[in-house]
Chain A
């Protein structure tokens, strides 16, 4: 579960992206407790301040919240999670279609291509 970061980009944004996906994909459940900053920093091999920054940003975006004594938790706002998940898949599909188009296929052919090759992954 250790992601590989691109050191040419700010690391905190990549941690945010990684963590966001854990929440949106349901690998972290709504209301689940998040491990302490130092523990996560250790696991990822990154600076604890960098990790803290990523967590604070995710709090600002409403995906995490802190309870003073108990620690940090994933939001229980499942409507927020659902809408962000929808937004993410929209971007993923958009990116895919862009590549399809770049290779000279019509977007309308995408469905046929998915049916033909979709079984090959996983």
Chain B
């Protein structure tokens, strides 16, 4: 019914005296890939935690398909955290079982195909995998859900540049039709061709936002160049 999948309205978040997010507003329409861009400490992860109901104490409004973050919205959002969120003693296949039990929209066959194409060894325990492999596993688990919104917190930060193309094509190839993606990253150049829209967060506030193609023709610059200008010290 609504034309907006995710709605962020005047969100402010404080940790004591420190302001982590300052009056942040934006919408994500269905079928869009949105880049949430900013250096470390700019508020990306804080905002993502609010969307995923991991932080409740904030001002402003957040709606996912019209619902405030809560039990209901966990079914709509597939979330890739910035840190390994599963116990390291779990085997890869057990992690798949866990997701299959937990999420009704988890597509196990898709997950197994993805593990295979990303060359993640299914028999190993998570703790035995390299950091890059752990990220590939988490990406598999996240993208194998048939969610409305995928929220990926720094999906390429831990993989080597050669593997980035593979990660990016995995993301493009696997998000469900009509669903949207919110991808946070501080590495722009390898991924900018993937974004419909970009949001630049600076010190907790939105510094610049718009359609990636429109920003390119308006400024005659790449998103990466704009990023470097906005965050120049």
Contact = CB atoms under 8 A, between A and B. Distances in A.
Interface of A: 5-12, 38, 41-42, 44-50, 53
**Interchain residue pairs A-B with the least CB separation, the first 8:** A7-B222, A46-B193, A8-B222, A10-B213, A10-B217, A10-B216, A42-B169, A47-B194
Contacts of B172: 38, 41-42, 45, 47-48
A46 B222 contact: no
Interface of B: 31-33, 165, 168-169, 172-173, 189, 192-196, 212-213, 216-217, 220-225
A38 to B, nearest CB: 7
B198 to A, nearest CB: 11
B217 A50 contact: no
A11 B196 contact: no
B196 A9 contact: no
Nearest to A15: B193
B194 A7 contact: no
A5 B193 CA distance: 9
A49 B216 contact: no
A7 B213 contact: no
B106 to A, nearest CB: 21
B216 A9 contact: yes
A12 B214 CA distance: 11
B19 to A, nearest CB: 32
Contacts of B31: 49
A11 B193 contact: yes
Contacts of B223: 7
Contact of A7 (B165, B169, B217, B224): B224
28 contacts: A6-B222, A7-B189, A7-B193, A7-B216, A7-B222, A7-B223, A7-B224, A8-B220, A8-B225, A9-B216, A9-B217, A10-B217, A11-B213, A11-B216, A41-B172, A42-B169, A42-B172, A45-B168, A45-B169, A45-B194, A46-B193, A46-B194, A47-B195, A47-B212, A49-B31, A49-B32, A50-B193, A50-B196
